């Protein structure tokens, strides 16, 4: 195929090399650590669920018990397996006994590790099989029903009530949406646990819980069956409980997860070490479950200027991709994010957007690109907003984007009404259909505005990545090189949950995932 834009291969190589060294450095800094969230995830794979009388999730109760004794460096699974052998109780019964204060995992006599490992490994294998089951079920359903042509239409629901969300999601699916994301309740990312059960109250969104995942999945499968299309479900695998959300999504057959290398650090002030450790583990789970991750580079542009800071987005895409591959994600599971956020008053702004979208398309030909709509420059003028969204849709179909988060004409006013979503689906369908093969007809002019813009952004990207590689990603974040926000290595939330692994650290889930993913 003829290249539409000329990409300077030398520059591209510099970018890839720098990104590789950045990812290797991160990997070497997190290898020796685990976190409380990782350990809670392992406990969940053993079958512990539910909450205490004080609404504290039992996996938290279990891990807290070991942490208090200062013995998490061996891995929660070791202590838990030991207790299963010693007490001959079920995992749930043990968790409940700890909650009642009748049992402490670390005060029991210690059994032979071989015995523990045998018991726990087979338990964990059951969960791993369950994840495989979900992956297979998805594959079967996607073979029976179509996924719809790309760009896929991605809409959000955010009522706070899972049942109302479902109703809106089903309506959107009927109108043509391919993907539904349930926006999380405000600041759930800062909860160091996952809430439990179906929820009907939330602020700016709906809590991510395993039961809510199940309700949406079931409802979307039902409507998908009716309309003969597989509707993909999305949630947020981020924040302090990131890997726990990953395991829930894997079991309940979510199809995509928002999962960015730096979002939590920059925008939620979560400790960077904690984030990278949790993320590495979560991404392995996502990978094994066949989930497509969506990275969040669009967020940089809501604080920084989209025209001036375009290269930070591309730099982050290179880094996100390299880190994701180290967790076993295949390129087709790495949905790299970017956004249509240039000020609409900029002359030829549309050309600059096309340059960026086309360039990333060619730089990452095997990754499904996630394209985010205008938000920063949306106003109360819904008519103009609808046009801005139209241009966004045109740029997308022209450049072969794949995951299209639809813009809402009421973006700057309220969370979407039912008809806002309908209008935005209509907008996208009209433009995608009307210009379906426009991209195939285009080659960009040599030395034209679009080609020059792409050259400029890529060369800035290479310079930035090399600077980041030199400082290390953690150092670069400290210096505020992304989104203009600076975070320190030892600062931020959740730092107390980072634990150095002991020599005899045991994590059966991690071991089995690594084996399954060949990493």
User: Is 130 one of the catalytic residues?
Assistant: no
Q: Which is nearer to other proteins, 362 or 415 (CB)?
A: 415
Helix (H) or strand (E) holding 382, with range, is helix 382-399
Give the footprint of other proteins on residues 69-128 (CB under 8 A). Answer: none
Give the active site residue among 298, 389, 420, 455: 298
Cβ contact 328:283 at 8 Å: yes
Q: Which is nearer to other proteins, 176 or 331 (CB)?
A: 176
CB of 187 to other proteins, least distance (A): 6
For residue 145, count CB atoms less than 10 angstroms from its CB and return exposed for 0-12, middle for 13-18, buried for 19 or more.
middle
Binding-site member from 108, 346, 412, 517 for other proteins (CB under 8 A): 412
Distance between CA 291 and CA 138 in Å, rounded?
Answer: 10
CA distances from 189 to 171, 268, 275 (A): 28, 8, 11
Q: Which is nearer to other proteins, 183 or 465 (CB)?
A: 183
Binding-site member from 13, 100, 144, 419 for other proteins (CB under 8 A): 419
Q: Which is nearer to other proteins, 27 or 415 (CB)?
A: 415
Task: Give the residue among 240, 376, 378, 218 at the shortest CA–CA distance from 302.
Answer: 376
Residue 255 is given by DSSP the state -
Torsion angle defined by CA atoms of residues 306, 300, 335 and 250, in that order, rounded to the nearest 10 degrees: -160
Give the active site residue among 67, 74, 273, 370: 370
204 touches other proteins by CB under 8 A: yes
Instruction: Give the three-class secondary structure for 442.
Output: coil
Cβ contact 189:239 at 8 Å: yes
Q: Which is nearer to other proteins, 311 or 377 (CB)?
A: 377
User: Is 376 one of the catalytic residues?
Assistant: no
Binding-site member from 27, 87, 92, 302 for other proteins (CB under 8 A): 302
Phi, psi of 498 (to 5 degrees): -90, 125
Distance between CA 165 and CA 324 in Å, rounded?
Answer: 30
CB of 508 to other proteins, least distance (A): 37
Q: Using the structure block, give the residue that is written with the tokens 């060369």.
A: 459
Binding-site member from 414, 436, 445, 500 for other proteins (CB under 8 A): 414
Query: Is the bond leading into 487 cis (omega within 30 degrees of zero)?
Result: no
7 touches other proteins by CB under 8 A: no
Give the footprint of other proteins on residues 150-189 (CB under 8 A). Answer: 158, 160, 167, 170-171, 174-175, 186-187
User: Is 298 one of the catalytic residues?
Assistant: yes
Binding-site member from 16, 71, 117, 376 for other proteins (CB under 8 A): 376
Binding mask 380-399 for other proteins (x = CB under 8 A): x-------------------
Helix (H) or strand (E) holding 156, with range, is strand 152-157
417 touches other proteins by CB under 8 A: yes
Task: Give the residue among 511, 509, 507 at the shortest CA–CA distance from 128.
Answer: 509
375 touches other proteins by CB under 8 A: yes
Cβ contact 285:513 at 8 Å: yes
306 touches other proteins by CB under 8 A: no
422 touches other proteins by CB under 8 A: yes
Binding-site member from 165, 411, 455, 460 for other proteins (CB under 8 A): 411
435 touches other proteins by CB under 8 A: no
CB of 498 to other proteins, least distance (A): 23
Q: Using the structure block, give the residue that is written with the tokens 């369950």.
A: 130
Binding-site member from 141, 346, 413, 463 for other proteins (CB under 8 A): 413
274 touches other proteins by CB under 8 A: no
13 touches other proteins by CB under 8 A: no
Task: Give the residue among 211, 256, 263, 210 at the shortest CA–CA distance from 240.
Answer: 263
Instruction: Give the three-class secondary structure for 396.
Output: helix
Cα dihedral 356, 357, 363, 368 sign:
positive
Instruction: Give the three-class secondary structure for 358.
Output: helix
CB of 128 to other proteins, least distance (A): 36
Residues that bind other proteins (CB under 8 A): 158, 160, 167, 170-171, 174-175, 186-187, 203-205, 267, 302-303, 375-377, 379-380, 411-415, 417-419, 422-423
Among all residues, which ones are annotated catalytic?
263, 298, 370
């Amino acid at each position: 195929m003829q290249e539409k834009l000329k990409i300077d291969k030398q520059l591209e190589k510099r970018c890839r090399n720098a990104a590789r060294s950045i990812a290797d450095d991160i990997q070497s800094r997190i290898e020796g650590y685990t976190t409380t969230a990782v350990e809670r995830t392992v406990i969940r794979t053993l079958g512990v669920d539910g909450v205490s009388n004080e609404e504290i999730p039992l996996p938290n109760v279990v891990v807290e018990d070991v942490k208090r004794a200062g013995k998490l460096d061996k891995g929660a699974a070791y202590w838990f397996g030991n207790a299963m052998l010693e007490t001959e109780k079920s995992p749930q019964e043990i968790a409940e006994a700890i909650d009642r204060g009748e049992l402490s995992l670390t005060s029991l006599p210690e059994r032979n590790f071989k015995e523990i490992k045998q018991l726990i490994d087979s338990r964990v294998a059951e969960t791993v099989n369950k994840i495989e089951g979900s992956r297979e079920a998805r594959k079967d359903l996607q073979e029976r029903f179509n996924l719809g042509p790309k760009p896929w239409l991605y809409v959000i629901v955010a009522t706070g009530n899972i049942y109302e969300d479902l109703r809106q999601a089903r309506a959107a699916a009927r109108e043509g949406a391919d993907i539904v994301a349930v926006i999380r309740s405000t600041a759930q990312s800062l909860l160091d646990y996952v809430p439990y059960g179906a929820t009907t109250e939330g602020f700016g969104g709906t809590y991510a819980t395993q039961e809510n995942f199940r309700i949406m999945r079931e409802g979307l499968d039902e409507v998908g069956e009716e309309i003969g299309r597989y509707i993909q479900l999305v949630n947020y695998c981020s924040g302090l409980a990131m890997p726990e959300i990953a395991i829930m999504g894997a079991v309940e057959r979510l199809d995509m997860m928002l999962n960015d290398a730096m979002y939590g650090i920059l925008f939620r002030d979560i400790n960077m070490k904690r984030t990278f450790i949790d993320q590495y583990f979560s991404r392995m789970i996502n990978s094994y479950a066949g989930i497509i991750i969506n990275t969040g580079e669009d967020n940089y542009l809501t604080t920084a200027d989209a025209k001036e800071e375009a290269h930070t987005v591309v730099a982050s895409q290179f880094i996100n991709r390299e880190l994701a591959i180290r967790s076993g994600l295949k390129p087709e599971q790495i949905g790299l994010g970017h956004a249509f956020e240039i000020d609409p008053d900029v002359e030829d702004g549309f050309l600059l957007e096309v340059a960026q979208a086309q360039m990333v398309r060619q730089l990452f030909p095997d990754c499904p690109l996630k394209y985010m709509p205008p938000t920063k420059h949306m106003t109360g003028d819904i008519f103009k907003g609808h046009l801005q969204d139209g241009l966004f849709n045109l740029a997308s179909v022209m450049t072969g984007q794949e995951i299209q988060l639809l813009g809402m004409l009421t973006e700057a006013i309220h969370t979407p009404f039912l008809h806002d979503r309908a209008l935005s689906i209509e907008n996208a369908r009209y433009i995608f259909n009307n210009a379906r093969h426009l991209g195939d007809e285009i080659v960009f002019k040599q030395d034209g505005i679009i080609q020059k813009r792409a050259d400029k952004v890529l060369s800035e990207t290479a310079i930035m990545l090399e600077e980041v590689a030199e400082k290390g990603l953690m150092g670069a974040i400290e210096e505020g090189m992304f989104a203009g926000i600076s975070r320190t290595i030892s600062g931020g939330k959740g730092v107390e949950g980072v634990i150095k692994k002991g020599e005899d650290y045991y994590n059966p889930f991690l071991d089995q995932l690594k084996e399954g993913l060949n990493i």
